[in-house]
Amino acid sequence: MSEFNKDDYLNDLPDADELAAGQVAPEGDADQAEPESNNDAQSSEAQGEQQPNEEPATPEEGEEADSEDGKLTPLGQAKKEAAEYLEALQRERAEFINYRNRTKKDMERARQQGIIDVLAAELPALDDIDRIREHGGEMDESFQAVAAKIDKAFEKFGVEKFGVKGEDFDPTRHDAILHKPDPQAEKATVDTVAEAGYRIGDRVIRAARVVVASPQE
Whether the Cβ atoms of residue 198 and residue 206 lie closer than 8 Å to each other: yes
- When pLDDT is averaged across residues 138-151 and rounded to a whole number, the result is 81
pLDDT at 10 over 90: no
Q: What is the mean pLDDT of residues 5-11?
A: 59
pLDDT tens digits, one per residue of 43-73: 444 444 445 455 544 545 555 556 666 787 8
Distance, CA of 73 to CA of 66 (rounded, Å):
5
Which residue segments constitute the domains of the chain, with CATH numbers given?
Answer: 77-215 (2.30.22.10)
Model confidence at 183, in pLDDT bands (50, 70, 90)?
confident
pLDDT at position 186 is 85
Q: Please list, in sequence order, all residues whose beta carbon lies within 8 angstroms of the beta carbon of residue 93, skipping any fewer than 6 positions away.
A: none
How much is the pLDDT for 64?
A: 55
Element (H, E) at 142: helix 141-156
pLDDT digits (tens, 9 = 90+) for 91-138: 999 999 999 999 999 999 999 899 999 999 999 999 988 888 777 666
Cβ-Cβ contacts under 8 Å for 74 (sequence gap 6 or more): none
Pick 56 or 213 by higher pLDDT. 213
Q: How far apart are CA 151 and CA 133, in angstroms?
A: 13
Cα–Cα distance for residue pair 25/31, rounded to 1 Å: 10
15-38 CB burial, b ≥16 within 10 A, e <16: eeeeeeeeeeeeeeeeeeeeeeee
Check residue 30 and give its pLDDT: 43
**Is the Cβ–Cβ distance between 208 and 197 less than 8 Å?**
yes
Q: Is 70 helix (H, G, I), strand (E, B) or coil?
A: coil
Q: Looking at residues 149-159, what average pLDDT do you find?
A: 90
Q: Residue 205: enclosing H or E segment and its boundaries?
A: strand 203-206
- For every residue of 124-136, DSSP letters joined together read HHHHHHHHHHHTT
Sheet strand arrangement including 174-182 = 174-182, 208-215, 189-195
- Residue 200 reports pLDDT greater than 60: yes
Cβ–Cβ under 8 Å, residues 180 and 153 = no
Q: Report DSSP state, residue 139.
A: -
Average of per-residue pLDDT values in the chain: 77
Q: pLDDT for 15-44, tens place per residue?
A: 655 555 554 444 444 444 444 444 454 444
